Amino acid sequence: MLLWFVFASMTAAAIFAVLWPLGRAADEQAGSDLAVYRDQLDELERDRRAGLIGEAEAQAARIEVSRRLITAADAAEFANSLPVGSGNPNDARGYEVLAPVYLRFGRLADAVNARRKLLALKGENAERQSDLGEALAATANGIVTAEAKTAFDRALAIDPKELKARFFIGLAAEQDGDRTKAATIWRGMLEGAPSDAPWLPMVREALGRVTVTPHIAASPGPSAEDVAAAGSMNEKDRGEMIRGMVARLAERLKENGSDIEGWQRLLRAYMVLGERNKAQDAAGDAKKAFSNDPDKLRRIEDMIKSLEIDG
Q: Domain segments of the chain: what residues? A: 10-123, 224-306
Contacts of 159 (CB under 8 A, 6+ apart): 125, 126, 165
Confidence bin at 128 (pLDDT 50/70/90): very high
Alpha helices in 105-234 (DSSP H): 108-122, 126-139, 146-158, 163-175, 179-190, 200-211, 224-231
Confidence bin at 212 (pLDDT 50/70/90): low
Confidence bin at 16 (pLDDT 50/70/90): very low
CA 235, 236, 241, 246 dihedral sign is positive
pLDDT value, residue 228: 46
Q: Is-above-0.75 flag for pTM?
A: no
Is residue 119 predicted with pLDDT exceeding 90? yes
Number of neighbouring beta carbons within 10 Å of residue 253: 21
Percent of the chain with pLDDT over 90: 23
Q: Rounded distance, CA 177 to CA 273, Å?
A: 7
Q: Rounded distance, CA 215 to CA 175, Å?
A: 8
Query: Rounded to an integer, what is the distance from CA 7 to the centroid of its chain?
Result: 15
On the question of a cis peptide bond just before residue 220, with omega within 30 degrees of 0, the verdict is: yes
From the list 168, 151, 102, 143, the residue with the least C-alpha distance to 308 is: 143
Compute, in degrees rounded to 10, the torsion defined by CA atoms 70, 75, 77, 83.
Answer: -80
Confidence bin at 76 (pLDDT 50/70/90): low
pLDDT value, residue 43: 79
The mean pLDDT value for 292-304 works out to 87
The model's pLDDT over 231-279, given as tens digits with 9 standing for 90+, comes to 455 566 666 777 777 888 888 888 888 888 888 888 888 887 778 889 8
**Residue 8 carries which DSSP code?**
P
pLDDT value, residue 74: 64
